[in-house]
Amino acid sequence: MLVLSRQRDESIMIGDDVEIIIVDVRGDKVRLGITAPKSIPVHRREIYDAIQREKAEKKELQKQQGQEPQAKKEEKSGEQQKQEPQAKKEEKSGEQQEQETHQQPSEK
């Protein structure tokens, strides 16, 4: 763990995109300002822990209800995609036959 000392209006950079600014210090409380891209979630630890618990509970509930895990759904989706190109090939061969039929009279 890196421990840094900062005073009011000083900041800490995390990578290129996240800045933590010391906004105010009152007794034993420190107010922080955090600037980060919207793609990076920023939560207080107790909120983060609650979100993780909810995710775990939701996953457990899905297991109890017998729902398929996401990996199996993706696997089935991949199988369907493999079958679709074959059907498209069959359609194309039909189109090709039609084009060949139209071309035959002009070649004669």
Residue 22 predicted with pLDDT over 90 = yes
Residue range 70-97: mean pLDDT, rounded: 54
Q: What is the pLDDT of residue 8?
A: 96
Instruction: Look over the chain and give the mean of its residue pLDDT values, rounded to a whole number.
Output: 78
Give residue 29's pLDDT.
Answer: 95
**8 A C-beta contact, residue 90 and residue 83:** no
Share of the chain above pLDDT 70, in %: 61
Return the closest-CA partner of residue 30 out of 51, 12, 48, 16.
Answer: 12
